[in-house]
Amino acid sequence: MLGLFSYKLKPQEGIDKNKTLSELTALLTAIRVSGYNTEEIASISKAKLSLISALIINLGNKILKTRIESEEPLARAKLDFSQLIKRLAGDSNTVAFVRYACQLLQYYTLLCDKEFVPDMTLQDWQNFLYINKESFGDTTNNPFVIEYALIKIFNQLNELTDSVEGKIAPLPQLDETRLYLHHRLEKLAETINLWASNDTNNVFFHYLKFVYHYAYSKAIELQFLAKKVSLTEEENVNLSDSQQLYLLAAKDSINKIDTLYEQTKNNAQLVIQGTEFSFGLNVLIKLPTSDINQIKEHLSSLTIGNRPLSLPSH
């Protein structure tokens, strides 16, 4: 039996729904709806960009407050995030900065909606987005939303696994839910892989690849547990081999993340691309451990001379 993490990833943040957003909301929303028109973005004045920067720092600080309870670490995280955003805003790539601002605002708007429920299932989350698509807009290319969906998928896969193993009460429509989660993972794969291949130095995109591959290996394990009575030995071996491929891909993503962090470790002037999506925090912070060496050891234990699934002996 594969010893994949059985812990839930870190809870999603709950946002103060009573806070009124800045008047810049209309501008950023219009830019997002228009498909990030470069001419429109180029016409934004430096003064307006400064206001956008202040808005984004404000929104990010609110989210950081939901993630960090201790006062001193929170103050340090807020300062780091503020400096990160100011550097991004002052960078020559204004389009990338404004796109990020639009995406964070859209994500924040979702979390502030009166119908948003943090512990809703992935199915409920997708319905929530669909029902409100006219007010929320297209969310399929928002990294914050993709991460949110991945975490929900992983946590539901863990819950289904616990049900199959008898750790919790049997869940209704288990097989239908398993297939649905499997399908949603496949739908997300194309977007995530495209992002990571187009922006190879973006640490957040490689983190999304890691979570995707790790979650997919979890889905394969669940498939084995749910069907092991009826599976042939050949089918067992095929599942195990498939799972090994996804675990190796997850390992590659972790190694890439480690390399990107190491490149900037001794140079405070370098900004790790993509850390704005984790608000300046370690991109692995929502995993059971953010210690990259522990994650590497965990993956190595599953991919070196080990078949993940409980296969019959040959």
Question: DSSP labels for 115-174?
Answer: T--TT--HHHHHHHHHHTHHHH---TT-HHHHHHHHHHHHHHHHHHHHHHTTSSPPPTTH
Amino acid identity at 12: Q
Mean pLDDT along residues 177-204: 95
88 vs 17, higher pLDDT: 88
Which pLDDT value is given to residue 271?
79
Lowest mean pLDDT among 24-28, 125-129, 303-307: 303-307
Q: What is the DSSP letter of 275?
A: G
Mean pLDDT along residues 42-67: 92
**251 Cα distance to chain centroid:** 17
Which pLDDT value is given to residue 107?
96
Measured between alpha carbons, how far is 83 from 70 in angstroms, rounded to an integer?
20
In the predicted structure, residue 57 carries a pLDDT above the cut 60: yes
Amino acid identity at 187: K
Which pLDDT value is given to residue 270?
75
93: number of Cβ within 10 Å: 9
pLDDT band for position 16 (50/70/90)? very low
Q: List the Cα angle 218/220/225 in 5-degree steps.
A: 95
Residues 6+ apart with CB under 8 A from 155: 8, 9
pTM: 0.89
Which pLDDT value is given to residue 105?
96
Which pLDDT value is given to residue 211?
98
pLDDT band for position 17 (50/70/90)? very low
Mean pLDDT along residues 96-109: 96
Measured between alpha carbons, how far is 261 from 249 in angstroms, rounded to an integer?
19
Q: What is the pLDDT of residues 262-292, one digit of tens each?
A: 988 877 667 789 999 999 999 999 999 999 9
Which pLDDT value is given to residue 309?
47
pLDDT band for position 20 (50/70/90)? very low
Which pLDDT value is given to residue 2?
45
Q: CA-CA distances (angstroms) from residue 255 to 160, 226, 280?
A: 29, 32, 20
Mean pLDDT along residues 119-139: 94
Which pLDDT value is given to residue 311?
31
Q: What is the DSSP letter of 10?
A: P
Mean pLDDT along residues 57-63: 95
Backbone angles phi, psi at 71, to 5 degrees: -65, -45
Q: What is the pLDDT of residues 150-186, one digit of tens each?
A: 999 999 999 999 999 989 988 889 999 999 999 999 9
Which pLDDT value is given to residue 308?
52
In the predicted structure, residue 313 carries a pLDDT above the cut 50: no
Residues 6+ apart with CB under 8 A from 285: 10, 67, 278
> What's the chain's average pLDDT?
88
For residues 143 and 200, the answer to whether their CB atoms sit within 8 Å is no
Instruction: Kindly tell me the sign of the dihedral angle through the C-alpha atoms of 221, 223, 228, 231.
Output: negative
Which pLDDT value is given to residue 47?
87
Measured between alpha carbons, how far is 261 from 203 in angstroms, rounded to an integer?
8
Backbone angles phi, psi at 201, to 5 degrees: -100, 10
Mean pLDDT along residues 186-194: 96
Residue identified by tokens 């830019």 is 31
Mean pLDDT along residues 185-214: 96
In the predicted structure, residue 187 carries a pLDDT above the cut 80: yes
Measured between alpha carbons, how far is 296 from 282 in angstroms, rounded to an integer?
16
Residues 6+ apart with CB under 8 A from 254: 210, 292, 295, 296, 299
Structure tokens belonging to residue 68:
């960090």
